[in-house]
Amino acid sequence: MKKFSLSFLVLMMVIFLAACGSASNTAQEKTETKTNENTNQQEKPAQETAKNDGFPEKPVRLIVQYPAGGGVDVTARLFAKHAEKYLGQKIIVENKTGGSGAIGVTSVATSKPDGYTLGVVIPNTITDELLLTDIKYNADSFAPIVQINADPSILAVKSDSPIKSLEDFINKAKSGKTTIGIGAVWTTNDFVKLQLEKEAGIELTRIPYQGGAPVTQSLLAGDIDSGTQYPGEIIDYYKSGELRGLAISTPENVDTFSEIPTFKEQGYDIEFNIWRMIAAPAGTPQEHIDVLEEAFMKALEDPETAKDFNNAGLEISALNSAQSQEKLKSEAEKYKAIISDLGLEPGANP
């Protein structure tokens, strides 16, 4: 009987120790599983994290610094129409005009850098600090997301104007006052004007407007002799025969405006284009930039987007975020050299 009791006690001790070991292993496994889950969560890609945090959870604002109907506005609205399909949120285009575009650009540069306020960056966005006074932004104030397109300038007159060619235009300018309408201040249209004055030995009377659309209306009304505008601003009037193009600032003829000769083929070394980028304020989280870039590039690669742009006289020339950033830097250096060569300073009149 004593031998049986001793055997029974040993058996119970073995069972007890085994149970304790099993419980300990289970607890350790749970701890390791929890640790692994936390590690895996931390290692998820930034873009996936942005999607998981819900970005974007609400509509995105796209600020346009010029009036409705101008080249920047037309481009922004066409882009927003297609981009919001891929972003999964509405993109609301808001025109904030004044100060030759500086008011709208400033509002973007000083917005909360969260990806919900975007703007359209163009060449004079990065030259304003060199040519305007009291400017608080420069190329470093923005985080480019994509480039949409690049447009040339077109020197145009009303179709019933006695000016039939660039040669007529230059001869008129040499013989007397000739007005030229230009929207905003220090866009590429102004550099076209300055370069033409320099090479042709003429002086033009610049009539300022807040944007390209008002220039077109004044040109159609006969209030000015000529205007330098972008394709989206005059395509309808060009097709209807109400406006005539005298020269275009491309290196070669373009299909949409095939009847308009280039400045170059008429003996003037003038080649400028206005590129348009969508950008966020500097400091916007990279994971949000990545989400926006992915959606925007898909929109720019969509055949329906290209169709709408072509109908508006615009051609897509897409660049991703890294390419846009590189271009922004190189263009800033290029325009610094041009402005220095022309001897221009802040507050100078074009």
Please choose, from the candidates 82, 114, 108, the residue with its C-alpha nearest in 3D space to the C-alpha of residue 95: 108
- Residue 285 banded pLDDT, cuts 50, 70, 90: very high
Residue 323 has pLDDT above 70, yes or no: yes
The pLDDT score that the predictor gives to residue 52 is: 52
Q: Where are the domains of the chain?
A: 58-150+273-341, 154-266
Amino acid at 195: Q
Q: Would you put residue 166 in left (φ > 0), alpha (ψ -120 to 50) or beta?
A: alpha
Residue 39 has pLDDT above 80, yes or no: no
- Residue 121 banded pLDDT, cuts 50, 70, 90: very high
What DSSP string runs through 296-342?
Answer: HHHHHT-HHHHHHHHHTT--EEEE-HHHHHHHHHHHHHHHHHHHHHT
- Residue 103 banded pLDDT, cuts 50, 70, 90: very high
Quick one: average pLDDT of 328-348?
93
For the ranges 7-16, 110-119, 206-215, the lowest mean pLDDT is seen at 7-16
The pLDDT score that the predictor gives to residue 113 is: 98
The pLDDT score that the predictor gives to residue 100 is: 87
Counting beta carbons within 10 angstroms of the beta carbon of residue 319, is it exposed (0 to 12), middle (13 to 18) or buried (19 or more)? buried
Q: Model confidence over 82-101: pLDDT tens digits?
A: 999 999 999 999 999 999 89
247-275: b or e for each residue (b if 16 or more CB lie within 10 Å)?
Answer: bbbbeeebebbeebbbbbeeebebbbbbb
The pLDDT score that the predictor gives to residue 210 is: 86
Higher-pLDDT residue of 84, 9? 84
Cβ atoms of 151 and 231 closer than 8 Å? yes
Residue 30 has pLDDT above 70, yes or no: no
Task: Quote the CATH superfamily of domain 58-150+273-341.
Answer: Bordetella uptake gene, domain 1 (3.40.190.150)
Q: Matching CATH topology for 58-150+273-341 and 154-266?
A: yes
The pLDDT score that the predictor gives to residue 51 is: 55
The pLDDT score that the predictor gives to residue 263 is: 98
Question: What fold does the segment set 154-266 form as a domain?
Answer: D-Maltodextrin-Binding Protein; domain 2 (3.40.190)
For the ranges 30-34, 140-144, 316-320, the lowest mean pLDDT is seen at 30-34
* Separation of alpha carbons 168 and 246, rounded Å: 9
What token pair was written down for 139? 């190329």
Mean pLDDT of the chain: 88
The pLDDT score that the predictor gives to residue 255 is: 87
Residue 243 has pLDDT above 90, yes or no: yes
Quick one: average pLDDT of 48-63?
80
What token pair was written down for 275? 């590129």
The answer for residues whose C-beta is within 8 angstroms of residue 337's C-beta and 6 or more apart is none
Residue 309 has pLDDT above 60, yes or no: yes
Higher-pLDDT residue of 241, 18? 241
* Separation of alpha carbons 188 and 208, rounded Å: 14
The pLDDT score that the predictor gives to residue 289 is: 98
Quick one: average pLDDT of 233-257?
94
